[in-house]
């Protein structure tokens, strides 16, 4: 079973303070780029993989999706999602993405935000999603960028001149990384960008868009703390189609 870090009280309480937790999709600076990658949702069947508070589930319904299925490993996340949702067209269920089973050719869109870096092996998960999508269905997801995850110590290095740099050693050394973000002992999995893209293609997906996301000048002007995200990509956004 995957590590259920979101049910750790310290992690959950810390996560609740993030802008993306407090303001939903509007609090996620990458949302505009993700939105541009999404297919038409009117009348579609959608699954949100690692749905968290259910922000995307509710958005999909507002965009016209006929039904939305949100799954997450965290009971705390699902409880919060249910508190925020009053819509019979959305259902939530606890499930482990690492052991996921889904009915064939059921969904038009599979969506996932910052969840897949918790999986030790992408290929079985992608096989499950591919067969669960209808022909022509879409997978749109974000995951932590391998430049961000590769170092064993994920932090800025400051030299004698005050220049900040991000370590990219161990890039080719795929596998688990342990960080102390919001709580101690958070396990994520580093894989190269090539590994992720090749895994998608190997199970039958066709790549439609890949974006190594960074904030715009306008976003940095509005939220100066985003400036560091322009120095190295923290996440990658990917759209693929069955």
26: left (phi over 0), alpha (psi -120 to 50) or beta: alpha
Q: What per-residue confidence (pLDDT) applies to 182?
A: 66
Q: What is the pLDDT of residue 44?
A: 98
Positions of the chain with pLDDT under 70: 1-5, 181-183
**pLDDT score recorded for residue 15:** 74
Residue 127, pLDDT score = 98
Residue 138 has a CB neighbour count (10 Å cut-off) of 24
* Alpha-carbon dihedral 52, 168, 2, 132, rounded to 10 degrees: 70
pLDDT (0 to 100) of residue 196:
98
Per-residue tokens: 142: 């974000």
The pLDDT value recorded for residue 186 is 82
pLDDT, position 97: 94
H helical segments located in the chain: 9-15, 19-22, 31-37, 55-62, 75-84, 122-132, 146-149, 193-202, 217-222
pTM above 0.85, yes or no: yes
Residue 206's pLDDT is: 98
Half-sphere exposure (Cβ direction) of 241: Cα atoms closer than 13 Å: 8
């Amino acid at each position: 079973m995957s590590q259920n870090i979101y049910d750790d009280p310290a992690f959950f309480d810390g996560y609740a303070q993030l802008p993306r937790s407090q303001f939903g999709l509007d609090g996620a600076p990458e949302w505009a780029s993700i939105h541009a990658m999404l297919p038409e949702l009117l009348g579609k069947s959608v699954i949100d993989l690692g749905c968290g508070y259910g922000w995307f589930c509710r958005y999909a319904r507002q965009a016209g999706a006929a039904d939305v299925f949100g799954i997450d490993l965290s009971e705390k996340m699902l409880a919060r999602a249910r508190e925020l949702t009053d819509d019979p067209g959305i259902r939530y269920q606890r499930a482990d993405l690492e052991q996921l089973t889904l009915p064939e050719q059921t969904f038009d869109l599979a969506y996932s935000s910052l969840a897949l870096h918790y999986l030790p092996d992408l290929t079985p998960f992608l096989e499950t999603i591919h067969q669960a999508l209808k022909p022509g269905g879409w997978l749109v997801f974000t995951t932590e960028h391998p430049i961000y995850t590769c170092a064993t110590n994920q932090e800025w290095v400051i030299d004698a001149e005050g220049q900040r740099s991000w370590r990219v050693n161990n890039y080719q050394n795929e596998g688990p990384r342990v960080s102390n973000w919001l709580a101690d002992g958070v396990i994520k999995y580093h894989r190269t960008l090539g590994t992720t893209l090749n895994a998608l293609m190997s199970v039958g997906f066709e790549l439609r868009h890949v974006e190594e996301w960074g904030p715009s000048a306008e976003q940095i002007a509005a939220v100066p703390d985003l400036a560091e995200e322009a120095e190295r990509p923290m996440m990658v956004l990917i759209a693929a189609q069955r």
